[in-house]
Copies of this chain bind each other. A is one copy, B any other.
Amino acid sequence: MQFQDSLFAKHMAPITGSAIRDIFKLLGKPGMISFAGGNPSNQALEPEVIAPIAKEVIETIGAPILQYGATEGFIPLRGSIHQFLTEEGVICQESEILPTEGSTQGLDLLLKALIDPGDVVLVEDPTFLGALQSIRTYHAKIVPVASDELGVIPEALEEAMKTYHPKLAYIIPTFQNPTGVTLNVERRKRVAELAAQYGVIVAEDDPYRDLRYEGEALPTIKSFDQEGWVVYLSSFSKLISPGMRVGAMVISFPTLMRKCVIGKQSSDLHCPLITQAIVDSYLRKGLLRPHIDRIVKGYKAQMNAMLEGFSAFPEGTKLNKPEGGLFVWAALPEHMNTLGILNKAIEAGVAFVPGTHFYSEGGHENTMRLNFSNSPVEMIYEGMEKLSKVLNDAK
């Protein structure tokens, strides 16, 4: 018998994968300058530090590090993440912390726990493409909520909560992916209030928080959460290593924690103990804060190089100027279409992600997301020059 696509689950049938991941396949060409990804800089990764830590934790812990572990996470790591989150202003008990495979798994477990087909999930407009795909995997109805240069607009969020009775709102409050925008303090407080008022779980995905190059750190949405409606998603992918896949959720409602643990039992049983123990040891040795101080300097120089490069973009290009994170977001003059331009850019040896992919309902074809963390300063200058030429030819 032939395998027919009709055998797929209905919600999976239309999902064809991340457009970004398909763009990545075009990037193998030697000399390509990629502003398309969201990778940390290789210079921000420390194999020479991690290698001896890996050996040490395996030797010190011995056989139990190779045995089955608890779904709830490696106990010492829960302790060191608790310490880290306390410093970040996320006040919680250790029992509210669930280590996850990056914040990717945090969102997946929330969706698994909460979403029946047709349930509504609110997202910022635009938002992280990977989150859109995860939400679609659960056959949720995605409702975009208007956002501006201060982040998601509380009045629009309240209106959407009233109208659509969502189960979940997904928000990236700091140096948002893709726009780089940071939600201001008043709005953070208001989002927490609205979550409690309308009984909506807010997933606060905050992986870029510590990559701040200017201005002052803001309190998390979670810090304004009195009742437990905000689930905080933390990740060490941008700070220590994405390849280790270590992040954490903070879940205050015990029954919701229990469902996420049950979901994780069937997703992967538990996160690998070696990677959990490496991150735990790295945090306990006090290596994280000095490391962040160092990488922030490099990223700031890269961001500034990219911002300089925009001066040669077509007149009328609008630009956000983020205070941190990994991305700059640009809107070209309205008549321009970055989908078509991408192919020419790749021919010229430079890549980016068309902004339309980050809008749940498409459109906004004149927008683009540019990543600066994954290219050294001189390549950023070179890439922005090439890209400016392509754009000016296309305008």
Contacts and interface: CB of A to CB of B under 8 A. Distances in A.
A72 to B, nearest CB: 10
A114 B9 CA distance: 4
A229 B3 contact: yes
A18 interface: yes
B67 A47 contact: no
Nearest to A115: B9
B40 A62 contact: no
Contact of A7 (B7, B12, B114, B262): B114
Given A104-B269, A244-B272, A270-B245, A62 B47 contact: yes
Interface in A1-57: 1-5, 7-12, 15-18, 21, 37, 39-40, 42-43, 45-48, 50-52, 54-55
A52 B55 contact: yes
Copies of this chain:
2
A321 to B, nearest CB: 26
Interface in A190-229: 196-199, 201, 227-229
Contacts of A1: 196-199, 227, 229
A337 interface: no
B55 A268 contact: no
A388 interface: no
Interface in A251-283: 253, 255-256, 258-259, 261-263, 265-275, 278
Contact of A265 (B3, B17, B269): B17
A59 interface: yes
